[in-house]
Amino acid sequence: MYLVELYELIEEGENSHVEFKRKFSSPEKIAKEMIAFANSGGGYILFGVDDDRSIIGVESEKSEIELINTAAKFYCEPEIEFSLEIIFIKRVDVVVVYIPKSNRKPHRLITDDKDSPPKFYVRSEDKSVLASKETVNILRNSNSEKPLSITIGDNEKKLFDFLTENKKITVKGFKKLVNISERRASRTLVNLVKAEVIRHVINGTEEFFTLA
């Protein structure tokens, strides 16, 4: 990465493709960010840059690299591929980690608590958020090149009519619309996303479906 490109990333601020880290916290927390980028569209983590875009630098790039490798290898399942650069800027070193969009989704976080349910993360605006079960199911199919073939019934037609007029719907909203269980509503919406008939949108803390 050229110096001018790093300046541009910092100037843009944190977003769905860029995360700033003043310092390294823990392998588990960094793994969470790496997983979110890999499960989404990919992106950069800049170590040594504060949230207000101040360039702080890192104290020891060697220890940072070791901890990043640990996070990717031992806290991510499957292991996450990434590239890493150390860039000298304003008399300090910034560690730039690039995580590409993965073709092995979904990646999950490995924690020390073996009894906790699997945790998957995705990127939403400038945050890494816990993925819903609908998101995880969609991610599982996202590596396939062919859309799912489905049959359109009365429930799907009611959904399309609703979306044409109201633009978006949630799982609970669809459940109420056609009077089915939440589990069936979730499965139907996920299958329609896999068929590329509707879109799944995560906007901050809000999650909904729209026409494709």
The answer to the question of residue 157 being in a domain is yes
Q: Given the DSSP bridges, would you call strands 83-89 and 92-99 parallel, antiparallel or unpaired?
A: antiparallel
Structurally, the chain folds into a number of domains equal to: 2
CATH number at residue 155: 1.10.10.10
Q: List, edge to edge, every strand of the sheet that includes 108-109.
A: 76-77, 108-109, 119-124, 127-130
The pTM for the full model equals 0.87
Pick the last residue of a domain from 130, 165, 183. 130
pLDDT digits (tens, 9 = 90+) for 93-152: 999 999 999 999 999 999 877 778 899 999 999 999 999 999 999 998 887 767 777 888
Q: H-type helices in 40-153, by residue range?
A: 61-74, 133-141
CB 3 within 8 A of CB 43: no
Pick the last residue of a domain from 70, 96, 130. 130
